[in-house]
Amino acid sequence: MAAAPRDVPRRGLFIGGGWREPSLGRRLPVVNPATETTIGDVPAATAEDVELAVAAAREAFRRDGGRHWSCASGAVRAKFLRAIAAKIKEKKSDLALLETLDSGKPLDEANADMDDVAACFEYYADLAEAFDGKQHLPISLPMENFKSYALKEPIGVVGLITPWNYPLLMATWKVAPALAAGCTAVLKPSELASLTCLELGAICIEIGLPPGVLNIITGLGPEAGAPLASHPHVDKVAFTGSTETGKRVMTAAAQMVKPVSLELGGKSPLIVFDDIDNIDNAVEWAMFGIFANGGQVCSATSRILVHEKIAKQFLDRLVAWAKHIKISDPLEEGCRLGSVVSEGQYEKIKKFISTARNEGATILCGGARPQHLRRGFFIEPTIITDVSTSMQIWREEVFGPVVCVKEFSTESEAVELANDTHYGLAGGVISNDPEICERLTKAIQAGIIWINCSQPCFVQAPWGGNKRSGFGRELGEWGLDNYMTVKQVTKYCSDEPWGWYQPPSKL
């Protein structure tokens, strides 16, 4: 087992390039969800601190006419992003350990997350550098006496509100493209897992990021997140989290007609056809789609639709595989299922399972605390069958290691079941028939489709959903565009008068 650090770093709010205590002096306890012990605390920001952070970001955006950041070349910003990536790699072990202690995820997963964090900063450094050569591209016009081009410019000060399931990675998905675009930012991570985001502030100090370019405030949503979303000097809000909170963010932003991008909940389907050659391959992808990160994944394929011809065989193997998962202290080597993030989330998941049982569903596997773990917020991987489409467990996002399995008989029935949801983040199809895969790629109403897999994620590819899963796209070049505004520049290139009006008579 890896050794836990003796002390969790005690940080303040990261504002204007340095640390400061919250205005009201309040702090929130940090609880290790795998042991239920308090391991530290984080500052609890309020509206007063939001004011300071937004003012620091605004000043950094405008400083010297933007020469140091917003109007600097992409190559200048790329140097800082690469420096952050290098520090992430250097501190990978410490950051991964903090992330595990804070969120309960297996240490192997946290280490992989840190690799992805560094890769994301490097990717957007490359895009920032390449961006310089893409400005002033001419626009073809039908009139020769005009020349036109488009400029992409940073949108301004952005508020970034991020979740607890991948604390530093989800923050990076927003911070890296926002900074690459030339924006300045105020990051507000979830109060349930803020430690590694605060360490990002320490890294910014180490690499000499200009003061105020990135500010990091921790605290409760109503006290810190809400004032950030509604602040008149925040030019855009990007939010990842629950659909209900997303609605409130959108409402707050609407009062000032500021743009938002929202990556919200999901109840994603995975459709397994009977033409597959290897049941176990399909089962492992189904497992990865719902049990990775404890099922605390917005895109989790938490509804499995399996063809009736292979349903029994598939379920037998799914149960066997699920019972074989190593559930343990997340610091133990080989752990594949740690705790969920908090007591509140633990109780919420248990209530979902209880309601499913009361509504007539069958808990085929799991559904309780593992017998060998007496402390910590652990839930066994849970497989639920005999589910009707009206049940809560089928319709609502659980955000835990809980999956529903339902049979289908025809392709059209599978599509209908897959799309019978308010959400539209992701979906998957497992089949050996390329024509089936092609048809379902078009038929499933979601922003992300996986074929013969579930949950792969690449920084180069767009990420985001439809319907109540939100709008806007992160990652890839789409992620950079999230933080840009487009300006048309058109020049009249003739000495001839325009000639629309008749000139007055000469005196």
DSSP 22: -
- Average pLDDT of the segment spanning 377-400: 98
Residue 275 has pLDDT above 50, yes or no: yes
Q: Position 127: which residue type?
A: L
Residue 1 has pLDDT above 60, yes or no: no
Instruction: Give CA–CA dist 163/171, Å, rounded.
Output: 8
Domains plus CATH for the chain?
A: 13-264+469-490 (3.40.605.10), 269-451 (3.40.309.10)
pTM: 0.96
pLDDT digits (tens, 9 = 90+) for 12-58: 999 999 999 999 999 999 999 999 999 999 999 999 999 999 999 99
Can you give the pLDDT at residue 225?
A: 97
Q: Is 122 a catalytic residue?
A: no
Instruction: Give CA–CA dist 105/144, Å, rounded.
Output: 61
Locus of tokens 């920084």: 459
Helix and strand numbers (H, E) in the chain are 15, 22
Contact 196, 274 (CB under 8 A): no
Can you give the pLDDT at residue 137?
A: 87
Can you give the pLDDT at residue 505?
A: 82
Can you give the pLDDT at residue 6?
A: 47
Q: Each residue of 206-225: b (16+ CB within 10 Å) or e?
A: eeebbbbbbbbbbbbbebbb
Contact 289, 381 (CB under 8 A): no
- Average pLDDT of the segment spanning 180-206: 98
pLDDT digits (tens, 9 = 90+) for 280-304: 999 999 999 999 999 999 999 999 9
Instruction: Give CA–CA dist 82/88, Å, rounded.
Output: 10
Can you give the pLDDT at residue 115?
A: 98
- Average pLDDT of the segment spanning 301-326: 98
- Average pLDDT of the segment spanning 135-164: 96
- Average pLDDT of the segment spanning 143-162: 97
Find the distance separating the first CA and the last CA of the chain, reported in whole Å. 95
Can you give the pLDDT at residue 428?
A: 98
Mean pLDDT, all residues of the chain: 96
Share of the chain above pLDDT 70, in %: 98
pLDDT digits (tens, 9 = 90+) for 103-135: 999 999 999 999 999 999 999 999 999 998 888
Pick the closest to residue 342 from 25, 107, 8, 28 (CA basis).
Answer: 28
- Average pLDDT of the segment spanning 448-465: 98
Residue 4 has pLDDT above 60, yes or no: no
Can you give the pLDDT at residue 134?
A: 87
pLDDT digits (tens, 9 = 90+) for 356-377: 999 999 999 999 999 999 999 9
Tell the burial category of 252 from Cβ atoms under 10 Å away from its Cβ (0-12, 13-18, 19+).
Answer: buried
Q: Count Cα neighbours of 480 within 13 Å in the Cβ-side half-sphere.
A: 22
Share of the chain above pLDDT 90, in %: 96
Catalytic residue among 129, 263, 380, 474: 263
Confidence of residue 507 (pLDDT cuts 50, 70, 90): low
